[in-house]
């Protein structure tokens, strides 16, 4: 047994990785799902600790990472930055450089989750992860920041492949905005668009006027589609994007105006979003598709983002994708942190 050639790599955004490297993650994740408790995998992180920084709470993320570490023979340690003496603009404490270098002496990797309401401008969360990556000698894993969510996107693609086959070229995914009372960040939808376009899917993004995503990310998605001979479209029509779709991904996201005066204005975003009740994924719209799968990264704002009959319907793969988070994360941790693979 020895280290993978991916040992020591950070996973902050899938776009930072070669397609062949992403294939390795998915291939191993599928093996781990099929043979979950095989002795081949249960000691890969034996006696090792994975630190998890949760600036924001979670359901699946904490559960899946803790299960992943345990099933690899290691331990995941839950950390809340607010209880640690870390330096901020308003408080004295340990710098990112010092924290990263010290933790590198203790653990085999660091996961960080920092979302919209813990930052004062778009991109600040992603900047923090990259600052830790600069100073740490161990892998940094993005457990969701305000720009990207690679573990979720890999779980999405794995689930889509399980239902539509390995070759996704020519298949269309609709990523559609949905109204809701959550003011969600862009991380899941942006990462889904980036990764699905890497795998040759036609990508359509639908949203009301005023809900554009990050222009730089959209340019990368367009480039990915061009390189793979796939189509990229955007529309402000609530129904058009459903036509011909093989996968529908319905999710609320905030507007580009969510941050101003150094603050995240969540309530303003919620009130604005609730003014578009027609932007819900329902059975009527799903009839316009090619008998499409429905997916969502969860938690779902049922009755706003999607109706119950679609979310819990026979074409919904939400629970398969949620399970895949575990297997994808095990694969990432094994490939980047284990010396026994």
Q: What is the pLDDT of residue 85?
A: 74
Note the pLDDT of residue 59: 85
- Burial label for 82, CB within 10 Å (0-12, 13-18, 19+), is exposed
For residue 170, tell me if it sits in a domain.
Answer: yes
Q: Do 252 and 175 share a structural domain?
A: yes
Domain identity same for 128 and 156: no
Q: Is 132 helix (H, G, I), strand (E, B) or coil?
A: helix
Residues 85 and 162 in one domain: no
Contact residues for 108 (Cβ-Cβ < 8 A; gap 6+): 45, 48, 49, 50, 74, 138, 139, 333, 337, 338
Grouped pLDDT means (10 residues each) for the chain, 341 residues: 93 98 98 98 98 93 98 97 74 86 98 96 97 98 98 98 98 97 96 98 98 98 98 98 98 97 95 97 98 97 98 98 98 97 88
Q: Is residue 2 part of a domain?
A: no
Is residue 301 a part of any domain in this protein?
yes
Residues 232, 123 share a domain: no
Q: Residue 123: which domain range? A: 14-147+325-337
Structural contact between residues 192 and 154, judged by C-beta atoms closer than 8 angstroms: no
State whether 132 and 52 are in the same domain: yes
What does the alpha-carbon distance between residue 30 and residue 324 come to, in Å, rounded to a whole number?
Answer: 9
Q: How many domains does the chain have?
A: 2
pLDDT at 13: 98
Are 214 and 208 in contact by the 8 Å Cβ rule? The answer is no
**pTM (predicted TM-score):** 0.97
List all residues 6 or more positions away from 198 whose beta carbon is below 8 Å from its beta carbon. 14, 15, 19, 22, 224, 228
- The pLDDT assigned to 1 comes to 67
- Please indicate, yes or no, if residue 4 is contained in any of the structural domains: no
Q: Are residues 80 and 172 in the same domain?
A: no
Number of neighbours of residue 268 by Cβ within 10 angstroms: 15
What local confidence, expressed as pLDDT, does residue 84 receive? 81
- CA nearest to 52, candidates 130, 144, 187: 144
Q: Provide the CATH number for the domain around residue 316.
A: 3.40.50.1370
199 and 73 assigned to the same domain? no
Q: Is residue 178 domain-shared with residue 292, that is, in the same domain?
A: yes
């Amino acid at each position: 047994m020895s280290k993978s050639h991916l040992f020591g790599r950070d996973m902050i955004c899938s776009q930072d990785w070669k397609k062949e490297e992403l294939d390795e993650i998915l291939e191993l994740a599928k093996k781990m799902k099929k043979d979950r408790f095989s002795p081949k995998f249960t000691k890969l992180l034996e006696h090792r600790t994975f630190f998890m920084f949760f600036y924001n709470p979670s359901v699946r993320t904490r559960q899946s990472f803790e299960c992943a570490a345990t099933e690899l023979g290691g331990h995941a340690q839950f950390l809340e930055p607010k209880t640690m003496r870390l330096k901020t603009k308003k408080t004295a404490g340990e710098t990112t450089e010092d924290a990263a270098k010290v933790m590198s002496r203790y653990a085999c990797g660091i996961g960080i989750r920092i979302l919209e309401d813990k930052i004062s401008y778009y991109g600040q969360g992603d900047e923090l992860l990259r600052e830790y990556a600069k100073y740490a000698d161990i892998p940094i894993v993005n457990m969701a920041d305000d720009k990207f969510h690679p573990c979720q996107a890999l779980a999405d693609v794995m689930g889509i492949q399980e239902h539509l086959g390995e070759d996704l070229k020519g298949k269309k995914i609709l990523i559609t905005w949905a109204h809701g009372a959550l003011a969600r960040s862009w991380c899941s939808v942006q990462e889904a668009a980036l990764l699905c376009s890497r795998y040759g899917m036609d990508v359509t993004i639908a949203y009301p006027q005023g809900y554009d995503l990050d222009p730089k990310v959209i340019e990368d998605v367009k480039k990915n589609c061009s390189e793979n001979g796939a189509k990229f479209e955007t529309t402000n029509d609530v129904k058009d994007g459903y036509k011909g779709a093989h996968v529908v991904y319905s999710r609320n996201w905030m507007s580009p105006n969510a941050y101003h005066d150094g603050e995240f204005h969540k309530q303003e975003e919620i009130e604005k979003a609730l003014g578009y009740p027609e932007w819900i994924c329902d059975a009527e719209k799903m009839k316009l598709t090619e008998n499409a799968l429905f997916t969502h990264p969860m938690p779902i704002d049922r009755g706003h983002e999607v109706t119950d009959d679609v979310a819990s319907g026979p074409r919904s793969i939400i629970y398969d994708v949620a399970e895949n988070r575990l297997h994808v994360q095990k694969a990432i941790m094994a490939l980047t942190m284990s010396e026994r693979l």
